[in-house]
Amino acid sequence: DIGCGDGRFLREVRSRYPDKTLLGIDASERAVRLAQALNPDLAYRALDIVREGLAQTYDAATLIEVIEHIPPLDLPAFLDAVAQAINPGGLLVLTVPHRNKSVIEKHYQHFSGEQLRNLLAPRFDVQKILPFDPAPRTPIAWLTLRMLGGKGRWFLFTQQRILYRCYQRYLRHYLYADDESRCERIAVICTRR
């Protein structure tokens, strides 16, 4: 997990794939110390992969909400370093904010599917682009997201049965967008050339 932050995603991966060799890396020493404190049974390293590279290659890498934090002129070198960390034919999964969402202060840019396809093309074959996290269009969508703690604002239910039903509705109706016109985030699955 490149740009692992506090390590939460890698912890979830470990729960699904306990026998896999996992590594979280982040350029921030502070983030890595927090990840290690929260997940002492996982491996984390503070590392600038562009300057230092990784000694080992992996079958898959993730970039979860990372590349929007990298200056646009530095992205090609960063993606070269990411590609060098993945075995040929290995997977890269990344998520980013979509251009539909306003750029915030700590981000350099947000992306469209076409932009990502062009950015990744020299190193990766894009298999799938998934627009997700649609802006709620109806009051029921807005309410469902809020009841599930969506966007970090509320978390109303602790009763498992109600929470489960709301979550199932969310998965069926509100997780993925039909197209990029109304999504706020986008995921890309690709393979290294």
Task: To the nearest 10°, report the CA torsion of 45, 35, 184, 120.
Answer: 10
pLDDT of res. 134: 83
Report whether 104 contacts 91 (CB < 8 A): no
Q: Which helix (H) or strand (E) holds 12?
A: helix 8-16
If DSSP states are collapsed to H, E and C, what string results for 144-160?
HHHHCCHHHCCCCCCCH
pLDDT of res. 11: 95
Q: Which helix (H) or strand (E) holds 88?
A: strand 86-97
Instruction: Report the interhelical angle of 8-16 vs 29-38 (nearest 10°).
Output: 40
pLDDT of res. 167: 76
pLDDT of res. 28: 96
Q: Record the pTM.
A: 0.85
pLDDT of res. 112: 98
At 141-173, the pLDDT tens digits run 777 666 666 555 555 566 788 778 877 877 777
Task: Find, among 91, 28, 120, the residue nearest to 4 by Cα.
Answer: 28
At 50-68, the pLDDT tens digits run 999 999 999 999 999 999 9
Q: Largest Cα–Cα distance in the chain?
A: 51
pLDDT of res. 23: 97
Residue numbers of the chain with a pLDDT score lower than 70: 136-137, 144-158
pLDDT of res. 146: 67
Token code pair at residue 65: 């909400």
pLDDT of res. 139: 79
pLDDT of res. 41: 95
Phi, psi of 101 (to 5 degrees): -95, 135
With tokens 């502070």, the residue in question is 30
Report whether 12 contacts 6 (CB < 8 A): no
Residue 42 CB neighbour total at 10 angstroms: 18
Phi, psi of 31 (to 5 degrees): -60, -40
